[in-house]
Amino acid sequence: MTPPGPTRHVAFLRAINLGAQRKFPKTAVADAVRAAGFEEVEVHLNTGNVGFLAAGERLDLERRLEEAFLAAAGFEVPTVVMTAAEMRDVVEHAAEFSAPGDDVGHHVSFLKAEPTAEAVAALQAAARDDERAVVRGRAAHLLLGADYHRAKLTNALVERHLGIATARRITVVREVARRWC
């Protein structure tokens, strides 16, 4: 049986280009992804959104990318890889909460691992009354309203309850999915 060929994936890099110690320009990110053996590499913005073609299991892809990023940047870069199908599901699910142009305060935290029901319940209980977290698979939709700059429900809180995660505004998520999925 022939192994499946490369498919489209999206990688979300956590905590790059924050402060002087974690600089990792998008050209260096793209070079590292290519060095890891992936094809058709594209980077959107300088915040760690990478589209690429690759064959293999998600955990192996994440490991290969994290090793390449450590070698290129000199620091660890936790990375969450989503398939194109997973990204389309995230965008479809997002439509239940906000429409393009009416999505202030809607963020998505991408998770390295699917959380347990107990962990999701703990996260939801930790949110303020005017905030909501809706988790489907490895995506946590954070619905924070217009005052999202002062939200209690942050990616740090998501990580405390659900493990390693990296957050993006829904506008970025939609654009990444439009470009690559």
Question: What secondary structure letter does DSSP report for 107?
Answer: E
Burial 130-152 (b: 16+ CB within 10 A, else e): ebebbbeebbbbbbbeeebeebe
Q: For 77-116, what is each residue's pLDDT tens digit?
A: 999 999 999 999 999 999 998 878 778 899 999 999 999 9
Pairing of strands 39-44, 165-169: unpaired
The model carries a pTM of 0.93
Which pLDDT score, from 0 to 100, does residue 149 have? 78
User: What CATH code would you report for 7-83?
Assistant: 3.30.70.1280
